[in-house]
Amino acid sequence: MNILVLLKMVPDVVEELEIADGGNALDTEFLRMIVNERDEHALEQALLLKEKHGGRVTVAAPQAHDLDHVLWTALARGADRAIRVTGIDGNSQTRWITAVLAHTLSAETDLWPLDLVLVGCQAIDDLDGQLAPGLAHHFEMPYLGLVTAIDMQPEAGHATVVKEFAGGRRGE
């Protein structure tokens, strides 16, 4: 099983946040960045699936401050490969980020074929949650968002997922 996990660095909201002089962004000079919590959960799920079914986990993330530490940590936790994606700045729109990620990941020939792509549903600095559906469209892969559990049957070629709906309802 070949799994890709996308990680994003976000501001640590425990730290005091300051607005930049322009008034429309955070002052990033002393801003501490951490991995988006939901992406961290996606990585943990990927590593559990790898442990149970075998395969390979690749992590990819847009270039950001402190990213090298995060990628090395993912490798130490059990990821097999890490990809730093350049060409995306902190002010990029989701469509641009999706296009750059799709272009970079498409060029990684040893990444394909992918069986599963795991991404956190949204980040604290970008609540639209459109990266995963955009990548699924680009890669012509099925997409299901807000998945809370995965039961893989790789030998049978399928998986059962639990999806969360509005109001806390869940369905398989």
Query: Is the predicted pLDDT of residue 25 greater than 70, yes or no?
Result: yes
**Topology of domain 2-14+23-144, CATH:** Rossmann fold (3.40.50)
Considering only CA atoms, which of 49, 17, 41 is closest in space to residue 30? 17
Q: How many whole angstroms separate alpha carbon 59 and alpha carbon 50? A: 13
Query: Is the predicted pLDDT of residue 19 greater than 90, yes or no?
Result: no
pTM here?
A: 0.88
Kindly state the average pLDDT of the residues 86-95.
80
Name the residue ranges covered by the structural domains of the chain: 2-14+23-144
Given a contact cutoff of 8 angstroms between Cβ atoms, the answer to whether 81 and 59 are in contact is yes
pLDDT 10s digits, 97-110 = 899 999 999 999 88
